[in-house]
Amino acid sequence: MVSPPTRYLVFFQYFGTKYSGVMQTSNDQSVLGVQNYLEKAAQNLKPVVPIKFCISSRTDAGVHALCNSAHLDIQRAPGKPAFSEKQLIYSLNYHLKPEPIRYLNVPAMQDAAQFLLGTHDFSTFRSINSETPFQSPVRTILQADIRPSSGFLSHHYEHRGLEFWELKFRSRSFVYRQVRRMVGALVAVGQGKLTPLHIKKLLEIKDARAFPPNAMAPPSGLFLKSVEYDEADLDATVGPGE
């Protein structure tokens, strides 16, 4: 006796840059839709009937989604129990690993961030500008944390369980675009494009040209949180004209 299909509602997020939009396209097209990859991943669940994602909201080519949703029916072979929520999410994420349609691997990012702590030559993590020949690439990172954050948009998604993460760095000073490069490299680790050991190797190379292309984080998500002073700095007097 064939068991009836089980219906699931799933929430997913994606960077839309490489896709024609969220909706399915013909597989012979050069640029595919997010739905193509979702359904390809779902077939690894070995359903009796091919799984179709009914997408709730269309997005155009290049558009990202913090949280889209779809429902799908999964019919398993006789005697096979329905997937639990955790089993389904784990399996879909696993088979979407090459695609930016899944959660970042935060523990790997946290491991990688530890290599940035302390005093290092950050030549690989700086962009070249006119001042580069006159500045030392050596900097000391006092704090490199990756932790859950409330996020600016979290109040819109409380019922959907969307996670926001904050990357926080503290240092006396940074080289040009160092923070954007560190963030971009750590995100690449979270996406599985780099491993934590790659961060260590990038530090050891000491060459700005060795930084992975297109890995620098955009400036729009970067904030200067605060400027701190030592008591000695505050007590120092400055003479006229200095």
Other CB atoms closer than 10 Å to residue 228's CB: what's the count? 8
The catalytic position among 60, 145, 207, 235 is 60
- At position 110, the amino acid (one-letter code) is Q
Q: Phi then psi for 85, rounded to 5 degrees?
A: -60, -45
Strand-strand pairing, 138-149 and 164-171: antiparallel
Other CB atoms closer than 10 Å to residue 210's CB: what's the count? 12
- The residue behind tokens 């409330």 is 150
Helix axes 178-190, 106-113, angle to 10 degrees: 140
Residue 60 designated active-site: yes
- At position 21, the amino acid (one-letter code) is G
Catalytic residues: 60
